[in-house]
Amino acid sequence: MDIYKPLVALLAIVNPIGVVPFFIHFTQNFSHEQRRRTIRVSAMTAFLVIAISAVAGLRVIEFFSISLASFQVGGGTLLLIGAIQMLNAQPAESRKDDLSDGSSKADAGASIAVVPLTIPLLTGPATISTMVIYADKARHWWELAVLVSYGVVVGLATFVVFSASGRIAKVLGKTGISIMTRLMGLILAALAVELLSEGLVKLFPVLAFHL
């Protein structure tokens, strides 16, 4: 197994820079500490998803009798919900009761860091399937260890990129963020439909004849 190919594939698929607009949107009403907590949780979750996928991805999927096609349909649904909110310029999970309760807002930040920022925007079905495929090719324990270490690299990259999102927000301003939010919402909706269609075709091959 070429130990460098998985890292290149991971960085290309995860692409934390491409997720920055979504991070700005989902955390625009957060305080500095809540945003930092979201960054930490998101980076750690990205590492855990990659590490678990490499070490036990096949076993977990087989244990729950879940196919990667099902991941695609579920992930596509989550993305479509987020896209609709972005097209309406509505911050995700922003409820009035959250604004009055600091602990609730902290919990919401952690929740947003996991879903949808990390799963499925950063580490979706493509990331999981990539790690499962390369883990299946591994023939030695150290090759699995290398795959897990790539999770650390992705987690650090996510932390650094998300930490710089504040500077990006200052450059764009509120109007720029609003325009970018709607534009990315439209793109996200298209990606969600693409993900849903691919998953549905895998689950129901007969649909391929009608697409």
The distance from CA 159 to its chain's CA centroid, rounded to whole angstroms, is: 13
Note the maximum CA span of the chain: 53
Q: What is the pLDDT of residues 60-106, one digit of tens each?
A: 877 888 877 887 788 788 778 878 877 886 544 443 444 344 445 55
Q: Counting beta carbons within 10 angstroms of the beta carbon of residue 24, is it exposed (0 to 12), middle (13 to 18) or buried (19 or more)?
A: buried
Q: What is the pLDDT of residue 96?
A: 41
Q: At what angle do helices 165-203 and 68-87 cross, to 10 degrees?
A: 130
- B/e letters for 39-76, b = 16+ CB within 10 Å, e = fewer, are bbbbbbbbbebbbbbbbebeeebeeeeeeebbbbbbbb
Q: What is the pLDDT of residue 102?
A: 45
Q: What is the pLDDT of residue 171?
A: 78
Q: What is the pLDDT of residue 93?
A: 41
Q: What is the pLDDT of residue 180?
A: 72
| Mean pLDDT of the region 107-125 | 79
Q: What is the pLDDT of residue 98?
A: 43
Least confident of 96-100, 157-161, 188-192: 96-100
pTM for the full predicted model: 0.70
Length of the chain: 211
Rounded Cα distance, 158 and 127, in Å: 14
